């Protein structure tokens, strides 16, 4: 039974107020005063995609005035990895991608460090590089990790020996032969998605200091506890020896979920105890040295009957994970769970491969691979519908997974608003009304497109989350969590949850920046899960501290605790004989007289813990051990209308109608903002964003030549549709929304383009050049 409360709005609590009340002197790394002992670090990146390191000459850098230390891979032998340790802190005997840190220079100023870093001479012996994901799986490909079999953590992956496949999982159900035999039409096609930058406006930055055997790391990161675990393991520290403090993050999108430069900063600080070390990447370094989204080559084959029933589907997903698979394991595993899309497929076989290449390491990006996967699935759904002459919306509605449907392995789909989302999105763009074919001088054509999505929330590891709510005279109410605010409004939501549960005004609730020393554990700490995981923990912490307060007052007043409540910051008694009241602030500042007339000024700390558990993907005894348990699915849809100039190929999105099942919109304003923001980011990835490589070297490494969506690209209309089918274990039925909006946007735009022009484009981005070329081919 899900307890539902009204939307916690009225007058929405201003997000900025919640953010500014972070305890401590400052939220931002640059504002923290580390004193005159602060040192600055600068990386020396590789300029080769694959080469042996013959010599790293740091003599000139070491002799430069103001340089304190220069370190190379000979000084650091540690490797990073949460599951598989396949990433050295600094290059060892070879470099595996352009941008891999070869050395780090530490100096009295950033300018000196940069100048000294440029003086480091690196001698390479170039070696063949594996730069294509499909060529990389062949037995004769240049190996990115020839010694993979000796790596620590190999038990967590299933590599294919002698190839660049670092992990491989598969899932199959039904009778494939019977499915193909039952099909009237079978379509097979390949789809591609290139690699992308996370493109956070705030680059990676960190400060570390080692003192008295303990280290403190201040960093702009998304998952403080993951960083603490991985960095402590790499440096041979106990977790308790590493304190991580995380301010609000200026954009992450998954690129700050795993350690990047933070481990290097910490390693340098260990070499220079007592002196804080600061490293901040500039934009070119950010685009070369940090994570990228994985690329994808997807091969799909599906059969369908003339009456619109899908009979079989076979999918193989080949992920370009660059030089490290560790941060992308969840992407690879999740692909087999969502690989058929949100459609009933009685006979299905899905395989997912993580393929090493000599490119920068892959990190999860908003949606954890689901945007890339749905690009392929939704395009294929359009092709199937067109092949049998069925309306694309009607085809989806006939095959959509609904609550109560049986999925793979006998699993039953929970209640979902997916069908409502699809219908609502289609209605918002007037799907049944035919778009104008030509307008004005005949150069413009119009089309409508639609795509659905689902995203499995999986348990790659125990998803334990702790929250603390403290009441004292100094700050009245302070909330401490392990999740980081990265623009998604999660701190505002937590303040609202505490205020609602505890019964105090929003203005009385303050937020404490994330500090692992506070003990507010959060292994998830990413935007797509925080509403659900952190929200549950915060609610329980608020309930716990409220019980403590009422128990304390009940004892002092000699009343049953059931007679008491807290309303707008006032403790009230509903006893017909007393009807006493007491302001909570007065209780904390002045105390209360006990039964023996002694006045006690109390403080309270409530603790809330939420442990997410999932069901195996298969209920049979032969469960694939590499496939993580599923907790629930998030669902939604995107519908768009586009305008295309047939002489130039330029595409403009006129309207977007994103519809998502959020369980329960605790703060509709934040939900709508997330839906709009995700839609625009998805638009940019569909039409604009691409990394251009030349033999492994990324060519466009600034925002001058790496295009993201700006204000001029935003459609005139974005109509968010909020669907609410409660999540049984969510706070008041809520689930996350931050990651999911991005997922169906690109295929919806592609669907609209094909609707307008009668052409299929199978590779992102959908640039004007590609559209123009396709039209030229169509005309010949």
**pLDDT computed for residue 616 by the predictor:** 58
**pLDDT computed for residue 16 by the predictor:** 32
DSSP, collapsed to helix, strand or coil, labels residue 42 as strand
Q: Which of 47, 27, 74 is nearest to 267 (CA)?
A: 74
With 0.95 as the threshold, say if the pTM is over it.
no
**pLDDT computed for residue 483 by the predictor:** 87
Q: Which residues of 520-548 are buried (b: 16+ CB within 10 A; e: fewer)?
A: bbbbbbbbbbbbbbbbbbbbbbbebbbeb
Instruction: Round to whole Å and give the CA distance between 99 and 13.
Output: 43
Instruction: Round to whole Å and give the CA distance between 106 and 743.
Output: 41
Sign of CA dihedral 240, 242, 248, 251: negative
**Average of pLDDT values for 46-59?**
98
Q: What are phi and psi of 568, to 5 degrees?
A: 50, 40
Domains of the chain with CATH codes: 18-25+461-610 (3.30.365.10), 32-127+198-289 (3.90.1170.50), 368-456+625-779 (3.30.365.10)
Condensed to tens digits (0 to 9), the pLDDT of residues 569-615 reads: 999 999 888 779 999 999 999 999 876 667 888 999 999 999 877 66
DSSP, collapsed to helix, strand or coil, labels residue 297 as strand
**pLDDT computed for residue 488 by the predictor:** 87
**pLDDT computed for residue 575 by the predictor:** 87
Share of the chain above pLDDT 90, in %: 80
Binning the chain into helix, strand and coil, the percentages to the nearest 5 are 30, 30, 40
Q: Which residues of 96-117 are buried (b: 16+ CB within 10 A; e: fewer)?
A: bbbbbbbbbbbbbebebbebbb
Instruction: Round to whole Å and give the CA distance between 204 and 251.
Output: 10
Under 8 Å between Cβ of 70 and 120:
yes
Condensed to tens digits (0 to 9), the pLDDT of residues 641-659 reads: 999 999 999 999 999 999 9
Q: Which residue has the higher pLDDT, 733 or 435?
A: 733
Under 8 Å between Cβ of 38 and 69:
no
Contacts for 433 with CB less than 8 Å, ≥ 6 apart: none
DSSP, collapsed to helix, strand or coil, labels residue 686 as helix
CA distances (Å), origin 267, targets 41, 216, 456: 12, 12, 36
* Pairing verdict, β 564-567 and 570-573: antiparallel
Q: Which residue has the higher pLDDT, 39 or 619?
A: 39
**pLDDT computed for residue 403 by the predictor:** 95
**Average of pLDDT values for 177-193?**
98
Residue 765 preceded by cis peptide, ω within 30: yes
* Pairing verdict, β 348-355 and 165-173: antiparallel
Over 278-344, what HEC string results?
EEECCHHHHHHHCCEECEEEEEEEEEECCCCCEEEEEEEEEEECCCCCHHHHHHHHHHHHHCCCCEC
Asked whether the predicted pLDDT for residue 303 surpasses 80, the reply is: yes
Q: What are phi and psi of 306, to 5 degrees?
A: -65, -25
Instruction: Round to whole Å and give the CA distance between 639 and 279.
Output: 43
CA distances (Å), origin 480, targets 39, 94, 129, 462, 606: 30, 43, 47, 20, 10
Asked whether the predicted pLDDT for residue 539 surpasses 70, the reply is: yes
**Average of pLDDT values for 402-414?**
89
Task: Work out the number of other CB atoms within 10 angstroms of the CB of residue 286.
Answer: 24
Which residue's structure tokens are 């005279």?
473
**pLDDT computed for residue 12 by the predictor:** 35
Under 8 Å between Cβ of 453 and 650:
no
Over 221-244, what HEC string results?
CCCHHHHHHHHHHHHCCCHHHEEE
Question: Encoding tokens for residue 106?
Answer: 């530490």
**Average of pLDDT values for 98-119?**
97
DSSP, collapsed to helix, strand or coil, labels residue 61 as helix
Q: What are phi and psi of 338, to 5 degrees?
A: -110, 5
Task: Work out the number of other CB atoms within 10 angstroms of the CB of residue 517.
Answer: 12
Instruction: Round to whole Å and give the CA distance between 61 and 316.
Output: 49
Task: Work out the number of other CB atoms within 10 angstroms of the CB of residue 129.
Answer: 22
| DSSP letter, residue 55 | E
Asked whether the predicted pLDDT for residue 780 surpasses 80, the reply is: no
Asked whether the predicted pLDDT for residue 461 surpasses 50, the reply is: yes
pLDDT band at residue 462, thresholds of 50, 70 and 90?
Answer: low
pLDDT band at residue 529, thresholds of 50, 70 and 90?
Answer: confident
The total number of residues shown for the chain amounts to 780
Asked whether the predicted pLDDT for residue 499 surpasses 80, the reply is: yes
Contacts for 426 with CB less than 8 Å, ≥ 6 apart: 393, 450, 637, 639, 657
Report the C-alpha dihedral over residues 318, 320, 321, 323, rounded to 10 degrees. 130
**pLDDT computed for residue 436 by the predictor:** 59
**Average of pLDDT values for 73-83?**
94
Instruction: Round to whole Å and give the CA distance between 268 and 262.
Output: 10
Q: Which residue has the higher pLDDT, 557 or 17?
A: 557
**pLDDT computed for residue 32 by the predictor:** 52
**pLDDT computed for residue 526 by the predictor:** 61
In order, the DSSP letters of 596-653 are: TS-EE---EEEEEEEEE--B-S--STT--TTSPPEEEEEEEEEEEEEEEETTT--EEE
Asked whether the predicted pLDDT for residue 757 surpasses 80, the reply is: yes
DSSP, collapsed to helix, strand or coil, labels residue 578 as coil
Q: Which residue has the higher pLDDT, 409 or 288?
A: 288
Instruction: Round to whole Å and give the CA distance between 648 and 497.
Output: 51
Instruction: Round to whole Å and give the CA distance between 106 and 599.
Output: 57
**Strands of the 51-57 sheet, one edge to the other:** 94-95, 51-57, 121-126
Longest dimension (CA), the chain: 97
Burial classification of residue 699, based on how many CB atoms lie within 10 Å of its CB (0-12 exposed, 13-18 middle, 19 or more buried): exposed
Task: Work out the number of other CB atoms within 10 angstroms of the CB of residue 728.
Answer: 11
H/E stretch holding 450 reads strand 444-458
**pLDDT computed for residue 528 by the predictor:** 63
**Average of pLDDT values for 711-725?**
97
């Amino acid at each position: 039974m899900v307890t539902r409360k009204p939307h916690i709005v009225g007058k929405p609590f201003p997000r900025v107020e919640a953010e500014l009340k972070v305890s401590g002197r400052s939220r931002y790394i640059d504002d923290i005063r580390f004193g005159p002992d602060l040192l600055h670090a600068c990386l020396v990146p590789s300029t080769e995609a694959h080469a042996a390191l013959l010599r790293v000459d740091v003599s000139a850098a070491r002799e430069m005035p103001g340089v304190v230390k220069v370190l190379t891979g000979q000084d650091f032998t540690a490797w990073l990895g949460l599951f598989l340790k396949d990433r050295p802190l600094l290059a060892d005997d070879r470099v595996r991608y352009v941008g891999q840190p070869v050395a780090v220079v530490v100096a009295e100023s950033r300018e000196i460090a940069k100048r000294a870093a440029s003086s480091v001479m690196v001698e390479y012996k170039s070696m063949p590089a594996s730069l294509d994901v499909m060529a990389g799986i062949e037995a004769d490909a240049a190996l990115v990790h020839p010694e993979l079999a000796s790596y620590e953590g190999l038990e967590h992956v299933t590599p294919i020996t002698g190839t660049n496949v670092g992990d491989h999982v598969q899932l199959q159900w039904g009778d494939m032969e019977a499915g193909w035999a039952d099909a009237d039409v079978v379509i097979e096609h390949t789809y591609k998605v290139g690699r992308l930058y996370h493109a956070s406006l705030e680059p990676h930055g960190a400060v570390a200091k080692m003192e008295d055997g303990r280290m403190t790391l201040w960093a702009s990161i998304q998952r403080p506890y993951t960083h603490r675990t991985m960095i402590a393991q790499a440096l041979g520290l106990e977790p308790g020896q590493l304190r991580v403090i995380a301010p609000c993050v200026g954009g992450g999108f998954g690129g700050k979920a795993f350690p990047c430069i933070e481990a290097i900063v910490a390693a340098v600080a260990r070499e220079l105890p007592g002196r804080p070390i600061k490293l901040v990447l500039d934009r070119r370094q950010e685009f070369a040295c940090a994570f990228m989204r994985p690329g994808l080559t997807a091969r799909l084959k599906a059969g369908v009957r003339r009456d619109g029933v899908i009979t079989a589907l076979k999918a193989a997903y080949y992920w370009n994970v660059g030089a490290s698979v560790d941060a992308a394991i969840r992407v690879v595993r999740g692909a087999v769970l969502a690989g058929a899309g949100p459609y009933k497929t009685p006979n299905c076989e899905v395989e997912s491969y993580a393929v090493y290449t000599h490119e920068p390491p892959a990190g999860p990006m908003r949606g954890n691979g689901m945007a890339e996967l749905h690009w392929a699935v939704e395009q294929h759904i359009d092709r199937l519908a067109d092949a049998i002459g069925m309306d694309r919306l009607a085809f989806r509605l006939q095959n959509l997974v609904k609550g109560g449907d049986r999925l793979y392995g006998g699993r039953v789909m929970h209640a979902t608003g997916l069908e409502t989302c699809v219908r609502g999105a289609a209605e918002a763009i007037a799907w049944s009304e035919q778009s104008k074919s030509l307008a004005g001088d005949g150069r413009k054509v119009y089309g409508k497109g639609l795509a659905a999505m689902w995203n499995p929330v999986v348990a790659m590891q125990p998803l334990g989350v702790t929250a603390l709510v403290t009441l004292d005279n100094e700050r009245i109410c302070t909330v401490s969590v392990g999740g980081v605010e990265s623009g998604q409004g999660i701190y505002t939501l937590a303040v609202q949850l505490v205020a609602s549960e505890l019964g105090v005004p929003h203005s009385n609730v303050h937020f404490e920046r994330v500090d692992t020393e506070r003990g507010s554990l959060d292994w998830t700490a990413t935007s797509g899960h925080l509403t659900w995981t952190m929200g549950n923990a915060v609610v329980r912490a608020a309930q716990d501290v409220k019980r403590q307060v009422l128990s304390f007052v009940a004892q002092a007043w000699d009343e049953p605790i059931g007679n008491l409540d807290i309303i707008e910051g006032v403790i009230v008694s509903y006893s017909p004989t007393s009807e006493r009241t007491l302001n909570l602030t007065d209780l904390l500042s002045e105390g209360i007289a006990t039964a023996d007339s002694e006045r006690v000024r109390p403080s309270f700390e409530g603790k809330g813990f939420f442990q997410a558990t999932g069901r195996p993907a298969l209920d049979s005894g032969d469960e694939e051990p590499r496939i993580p348990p599923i907790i629930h699915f998030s669902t939604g849809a995107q519908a768009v209308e586009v305008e295309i100039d047939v002489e130039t190929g330029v595409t403009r999105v006129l309207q977007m109608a994103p519809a998502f099942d959020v369980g329960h919109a605790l703060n509709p304003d934040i939900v709508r903002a997330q839906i709009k923001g995700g839609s625009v980011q998805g638009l940019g990835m569909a039409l604009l964003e691409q990394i251009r490589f030349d033999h492994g070297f990324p060519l466009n490494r600034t925002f001058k030549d790496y295009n993201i969506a700006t204000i001029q690209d935003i459609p005139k209309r974005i109509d968010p549709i909020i669907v609410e089918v409660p999540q049984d274990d969510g706070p008041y039925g809520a689930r996350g929304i931050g990651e999911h909006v991005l997922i169906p946007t690109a295929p919806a735009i592609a669907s609209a383009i094909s609707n307008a022009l009668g052409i299929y484009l199978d590779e992102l981005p959908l640039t004007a050049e590609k559209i123009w070329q396709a039209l030229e081919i169509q005309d010949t």
